[in-house]
Structure 1
Amino acid sequence: MTVVLGAGPITAEELLAIADGEGVALSPAARTRMTVARSVLTSALESGEAVYGLTRRLGAGVGDPVEDQAAFQRQVLRNHRADTGEPVPAPVVRAAMAARLAHLAAGGSGARPEVADALAALLNHDLVPLVRDRGSVGAADLVQNAAVAAVLVGEGAVLREDGTVVPGAEALAAAGLTPLEPEAHEALSLINTNAFALASTAVLGARLDALTDAADLAVACSLEAAGAHRASGDLGPFSAVVHADAGEEGRATSAERVRELLDGSFLADPARERAVQDELSFRCAPQVHGALADTAADLLDAVDGELAVRPENPLVDPESGTITPNGSFAPVGLALDLERARVALAHLGGIAERRIAVLSGLSAPLRAADTAGIPGLLAYTAAADLAALRAAAAPVTLGAAPLSGVEDYATFAWSAAEAGQKASDLLLEILAIEVLHAASLLRGRTEVLGAGTGPVVARLVELIGADLSADELVLSAALVLVS
C-alpha cells in the first residue's frame, strides 16, 4: 500500500503505516497547492517584503536581511545540526519524515514540490537519516529536522538497519538520488515543525494501546495464580454489570478482555471457595488499565489534530496569498496529553507492582523449597522500576526557558514524548515480572486455566525452565506479553 499525501489531512494511523515501511506519493492536488504557495513566496521575495526566513534571517538575527539565498540555506541547515545523544529509532524517524511531508503537501511552507519529492524519495528508498535524540525544546524540533534535511542535501548520515552508518551523499548516490539544492526559504521549511514530537507521540500511543492488552493479560494470569494458592481470584470486579454505566470506554473493554482471557478457567467454578474481597490491586485493574487505554486513544486523536494543522511559521496561505507569522508550531495540547500519559503509566505500574507483592508473598514456600524457578528479588527489581516510573511522571513541559531573543517560550513536547517512551519500557518490564511470578506459582499445578491465559502460562513455564539470566528471562517474558 502507498499512502497518498495531500488529498486531505494524514492520520496517525497512516503515519504509523509509513513508520512500518509503507511508501508515499504526493497527490496532484498537493503539487498544485505547493506551486501556488511557492508563487506567493516568490512575489514577496521579488518585492523585497520583510518575511522571516525569506528576506530576513532567523532567531536573534530576525531583523537582518538575507544577502545570499543559496549560502543562507546551507548556513541554516548547518547551524541547526546540533542533535546529540542516542539514535532515534527508525520507525520514529520515518514517521517524522512522513509528518513533515504531509505538512509540506498542505502548502503552508511555500516549498516547491521538488522538496516534497526529495523527502518522499528517502522514505520510498528506506533511507533513514541518523538523527540523535537530544536537542529539541519543542519550539519546532529544529535540530532533529535539520539532521533529516542534511541527508536531503547530500550531507549528514544514514543509519542502516544493521546499525552501520553511511555518509548521506554516499547513500543518495547508491539509491540513484540527486542531492536537493534548497532555494529561498526552503531550509526553514524543512526544519520548522514538531514532526518528531508528533511521530514519537503516535508511536507511543500505539505502544500504550498494546501495553493495556499486556496488562490485562498479566492481571488475568495473576488472578489464576493467586486463586490456585488461596481463596481469591474473584471475577466479580470484571463483570459486565460493574462497568455497564461507566463513561470511560477503556475500563469496560479491559474488563471484557480479562473475561475472554479467563474463559473456561477454574476461577469461574461457582463451587470454588472465594474470599469476600481481593486486594484493590486486583479489583481496580479495569479502572486503571482502562485509563491507560483511554489515554492512548487521546494521544492518537491529538496527533490527528496536529496533523490537520498547518504548523509553519510564517504560514503561507495559497488561497488568500498571505504570509502570516504565528505560533502553530507549539503543540501545547499534545504536550499536556503526553504529561498525562506518563502519569497513567505510573498508575498502572503501581497497581502491577502491588500485585507482584501479593504473588511474591504467596511464593514464599516455593522459594524456601528452592522450586520457584525465578529469582525472588525480581520483586525488588519491579519496585525499583516503579520508583523510576514515578520519577518519569514528573512534569517535563514546564522546563521552558528563554532561548534567543524573540524565541522566549517552548513546549518541550519532544522531551515529553521521549520520556513517555522510556516510561513505557519500565512498565513493560514490571508487567513481565508480574507474569513470571504468576507462571512460577502455576507451574506444575493441575487447575484448568483460561483459553487466553493457558497458552501464555505454558510459554512462560518453558522460559522459567530454560536456565536464563534474570535479564534474559524478563526480556523474553516481555516478548511473550506483546507478541
Structure 2
Amino acid sequence: MTQQTKVLQLDGDHLSIEEVVAVARKGWRIELTAEALATVRRSREMVEQMVSQQRVVYGITTGFGKFSDVMISGEDVSQLQENLIMSHACGMGEPYPAEVVRAMMVLRINALAKGYSGIREETLLHLVELCNRGVHPVIPQQGSLGASGDLAPLAHMVLVMLGKGEAEVNGRRMPGKEALEQAGMAPIRLQAKEGLALINGTQAMTAQLCLALYDARIVLESAEVISAMTIEALRGIPKAFDPQLHLVRPHPGQQESARKLLLHLQGSERTTAQGELRVQDPYSLRCIPQVHGATRDTLEYVWQTVTRECNSVTDNPILFTETGDVISGGNFHGQPMAFAADFMAIAIAELANISERRTERLVNPQLSGLPGFLTENGGLHSGFMITQYVAASIVSENKVLCHPASVDSIPSSANQEDHVSMGTTSARKLRTVVSNTAKVLAIEYLAAAQAIEFGHGALGAGTARAYEQLRKVVPRLTDDREMHPDLQMAEQLVRDGALFWE
C-alpha cells in the first residue's frame, strides 16, 4: 500500500496532528472503526426517542441561538436542519486551500465518531466518502467568531452534502450537485439534530492549527541549522551552548536548542574560543538557545493542547447515552484554540525577529568583518543589500499579525452569544506568520552560505549538509542577478526540512 492510499482508522480518541496533516496533504483515506459506528448508532437512537417523545431539547425540537425558546413541530425538524445549513452558509472572502478543507473534514468526522452528537451513521459516512473521493467543499475564510463553533465555515462544508453550494474536484470548481454526481454520490436529507451536529464545532480553527504546527516544527528545526551556519560565518563562540550553562536554567527547549546547535557545529573549524577573537558574541548569536528554546517550549504546549482538541466533543447539546442526559453547554467555545494560536504566532515570529538580526550582522561590514553586503565588487554590485530590507519588511508584518485576536469579542445572536473567541482569526493569522518566518529564514540561509565562502576550514556536520543542499539548487552570488528565484528555492528547502538532520 502506498503512502497516498493509506487508510486511517478513526475511533474519535486517537487522532494525531501528523495524521490530520497526512489526510490533508497526502490524500490518506478514512475509515471508522466498528466500535465508533456502534457508539454513533446508540447516540442516534437517543435523538429519535427525544423527537418521538416531543421533549424540549435545544437544536432538536427548538430553534437556535436567540430562537432557542421557539418550539419546532415534529414534521418540521428535518426542514429546521436544512434551514440551519443554508442560513449559516454566509462566509466571505477567498476560499480555504483544499488541504485546510480536508483537515476540517477529518477533524469533524473524528469528533462525530465519538458518539455524543446524535448524527445518523449514514450521514457521517456520507461525509467520510466526500473526503475519500476528493470532493472538497468551497469554504470562504471569513465569517467565524470562533464560538458556537466555526458555524459559517462548517455550514459551507455541509452544503455540498445536500447537493448545494460549490466544491472543488481535481482542482476544478463546480456546483455541489455536479461534484456529487461526478463522485457517484447522491445528496442527503438531514434529519433531527444532524445539521447542528455537523457545524457546531471548532474544526476550522483546529484544522489550521494542525497544519501550522506541523509546518512550525519544521521551520524551527531549519532555524537551528541556519543559525549554526551564521555562527560559523561570523566565527562565533560555541562555548555559549555548553550543557553546563543550560543545566542551571533547565528549560527543556533551551537545553534542546543548545544541544542541536552543538550537534550541527560538531567538527567545525570555523568557530572560535572565548577570548580568541572576542570575549562574547552579540545576543543574536549567544542567546539562540534561550530564544529558540522558548519557541520550542511554546510549540510543545500548543501541540498538546491542539492534540486534545483533535479528540474532543465540541458541539452542543451533547448526548450522554449511558446516563440519558442531554446537556447544553459551551464545548464549542474556541478560547483554548484562540489562546494557543495567538501564543504560537508570537513564539514563531521570534524566530524571524532574531533571524533578521543575524542577517543584518552578516551583510553589515562594520559588524561582520566581511565584504559589505557579501559582494566582492560593492558599488557596482549591491549583493545582499536588499534581501535584508525584505527580511525587515516581513518581520514588521509579523509584528502586526501577532496582535492577539483572542482578546477581542463582539456579542452576537441578540446578545445570547455574548462572548466569543475569535479563534479562527487567530489561526488564520498564525498560518501567515509561519509562512513569513520561513521566508525570513530563507534569506538568512542564503546570506550565511554566501558569507561562509569568504572563510576557510571545515564546516560542522550539520552545517556542511545544509550548505551542500543549498548549493545543489542555488549557486554562489558573484554578479548581481534576480534573487527572487534563489529566495524561493531556499524557502522551499526551509519548508521541506531538507537541510537539517540528526
Alignment of 1:53-452 (within 5 A): 53-67=59-73, 68-139=76-147, 140-162=149-171, 164-227=172-235, 233-267=236-270, 273-362=276-365, 363-364=371-372, 366-367=374-375, 369-370=377-378, 374-405=383-414, 406-443=416-453, 445-452=455-462
How does the TM-score come out when normalised to structure 1?
0.93
Deviation at 1:55, TM superposition (A): 1.0
- Residue range with higher mean Cα deviation, 367-376 or 282-291: 367-376
Question: Secondary structure of 2:109's partner?
Answer: helix
Partner Cα distance (2:228, 2:170) in 1: 37
Deviation at 1:245, TM superposition (A): 4.2
Partner Cα distance (2:424, 2:214) in 1: 17
Counterpart contact for 1:155–1:169, Cα < 8 Å: yes
1:29-65 residue CA offsets vs partner (Å, 9 max, x unmatched): 1222111111211121112222121111112322222
How does the TM-score come out when normalised to structure 2?
0.89
Counterpart contact for 2:237–2:274, Cα < 8 Å: no
Question: Secondary structure of 2:135's partner?
Answer: coil
Question: Secondary structure of 1:159's partner?
Answer: strand
Deviation at 1:100, TM superposition (A): 0.7
Letter in structure 1 aligned against 2:428? E
Question: Secondary structure of 2:137's partner?
Answer: coil
Q: 2:474 aligns with which of 460, 463, 474?
A: 463
Deviation at 1:366, TM superposition (A): 4.1
Matched length: 477
- Residue range with higher mean Cα deviation, 60-69 or 338-347: 60-69
Counterpart contact for 2:270–2:456, Cα < 8 Å: no
RMSD: 2.2
Counterpart contact for 2:274–2:280, Cα < 8 Å: no
Question: 1:146 and 1:265, CA in 2 relative to 1: closer, same or farther beyond 3 A?
Answer: same
Question: Secondary structure of 2:69's partner?
Answer: coil
Question: Secondary structure of 1:115's partner?
Answer: helix
Counterpart contact for 1:129–1:148, Cα < 8 Å: yes
Structure 2 stretches lacking a partner, 5+ long:
1-5, 366-370, 497-502
1:282-314 residue CA offsets vs partner (Å, 9 max, x unmatched): 011111112222222222211222233322211
Letter in structure 1 aligned against 2:133? H
Q: 2:21 aligns with which of 12, 16, 25?
A: 16
Partner Cα distance (2:191, 2:435) in 1: 42
| Structure 1 position 480 matched with structure 2 position 496 | no
Deviation at 1:270, TM superposition (A): 6.4
**Match in the other structure for 2:368:** none
Partner Cα distance (1:198, 1:186) in 2: 21
Partner Cα distance (1:187, 1:7) in 2: 19
Question: 1:248 and 1:159, CA in 2 relative to 1: closer, same or farther beyond 3 A?
Answer: farther
Counterpart contact for 2:263–2:462, Cα < 8 Å: yes
Partner Cα distance (2:275, 2:267) in 1: 14
Letter in structure 1 aligned against 2:166? A
Q: 1:3 aligns with which of 8, 22, 44?
A: 8
Partner Cα distance (1:47, 1:185) in 2: 15
Counterpart contact for 1:7–1:27, Cα < 8 Å: no
Partner Cα distance (1:353, 1:474) in 2: 14
Letter in structure 2 aligned against 1:100? R
1:409-458 residue CA offsets vs partner (Å, 9 max, x unmatched): 11111111111111111211111111121122123644322222224324
Partner Cα distance (2:253, 2:185) in 1: 47
Counterpart contact for 1:48–1:55, Cα < 8 Å: yes
Partner Cα distance (1:393, 1:26) in 2: 38
Letter in structure 2 aligned against 1:351? I
Partner Cα distance (1:271, 1:66) in 2: 78
Question: Secondary structure of 1:377's partner?
Answer: helix
Question: 1:449 and 1:146, CA in 2 relative to 1: closer, same or farther beyond 3 A?
Answer: same
Letter in structure 2 aligned against 1:55? T
Partner Cα distance (1:178, 1:408) in 2: 39
Question: 1:90 and 1:27, CA in 2 relative to 1: closer, same or farther beyond 3 A?
Answer: same
Question: Secondary structure of 2:385's partner?
Answer: coil
Letter in structure 2 aligned against 1:431? L
Partner Cα distance (1:141, 1:409) in 2: 14
Structure 1 stretches lacking a partner, 5+ long:
228-232
Deviation at 1:319, TM superposition (A): 1.2
Deviation at 1:167, TM superposition (A): 2.0
Question: Secondary structure of 2:209's partner?
Answer: helix
Moved over 6 A (4+): 269-272
- Residue range with higher mean Cα deviation, 459-468 or 436-445: 459-468
